[in-house]
Structure 1
Amino acid sequence: MKVDGTIDKYKARLVIQGFRQKEGIDFFDTYALVARISTIRLLLALAALHNLVIHQMDVKTAFLNGDLDEEIYMKQPKGFVIPGNEHKVCKLKKSLYDDMLTFGTDLEEVDKTKKFLSSSFDMKDMGEAEVILGIRIRKGNNGISISQSHYIEKILKKFNFENCSPVSTPIDPSLKLLPNKGSPVS
């Protein structure tokens, strides 16, 4: 999606599952195609603190480029299950990744980095970052502001509530809530 909510392009994601994980070692590790929101927020905070420019690029053929250092298996994707081999898994030969952010204080150096990456990989330069993981990024004179308005608008549209009127919170937002002790309310 573009910042204005219109469709930029359609994408399909292949999601893998960690069959090689061992309890007590990496059982709770998540191997995902996207960064954690907390990581993105940290990077944005550092960018604001150091007055960095933030540009976004997309690796067009990402899954063809990254070699793996470990064995990773995944279930056969729905619609691609080989008859007679339903219980077998696929071994990945290449890593899967997608968008990337480039940070810098000097726009000329950021452009050099982007040109270098584009010389090694088939990349789409998306320019200054505007939206990542549903977070809208706005850079101003006073730093960087982020909001999830883009994500909220997308969810409202998905459930046909985009024309709803906003209302005030029905409770004092400064009120501290306490855990329920299980006692009935009288």
Structure 2
Amino acid sequence: MDVKTAFLHGDLEEELYMEQPEGFVAQGKEDYVCRLKKSLYGLKQAHRQWYKKFEYVMEDQGYKKTTSDHCVFIKIFSGDDFIILLLNVDDMLIVGRNASRIDKLKQELSKSFAMKDLGPTKQILGIRSKHIDVRYHWMRDVLEAKLLELEKIHTNDNGADMLTKALPRVKFEACCLTSGMEAFPT
């Protein structure tokens, strides 16, 4: 998930003033200044104010921040049902076992912030990630429950060999035949 204009969500605790923006100077009031009502990108306070607003919203939803990292929020529902949210500036990673609970959290966050769902994580903090559907992660259980049949294929009959390593001509032609490819003379 990505928060659009994250630093504009923070509420200021002190009074801050700025010069009138170029092109918006009111005639006859050139010496006036503007009082900021919300945080702006570039303010020293912007990061802190954004985090405080996000922390308030998460705690309002019943999430607790961890003591080891204040950008990790967790909520335990029961037993092994939980959601962990990791916040990195304006990006977040949401992890949990229950997809409907994750969707509900996304909806609640979208009420407070303009959000964009980036879909399943492919990369987080420069580290590649790959999602494996839980149904396929524990294949041993699936095989024991007879939900899937494992068929042994002898190396000589394995058609994938031609795609992974060099083969003798006879074996290559046999693999081409079994895979429906035509071998052209060279």
Q: TM-score band (shorter)?
A: 0.3 to 0.5
Q: Which structure is higher in helix share?
A: 2
Higher relative contact order structure (alpha carbons within 8 Å, sequence separation ≥ 6): 1
TM-score (norm 1): 0.32
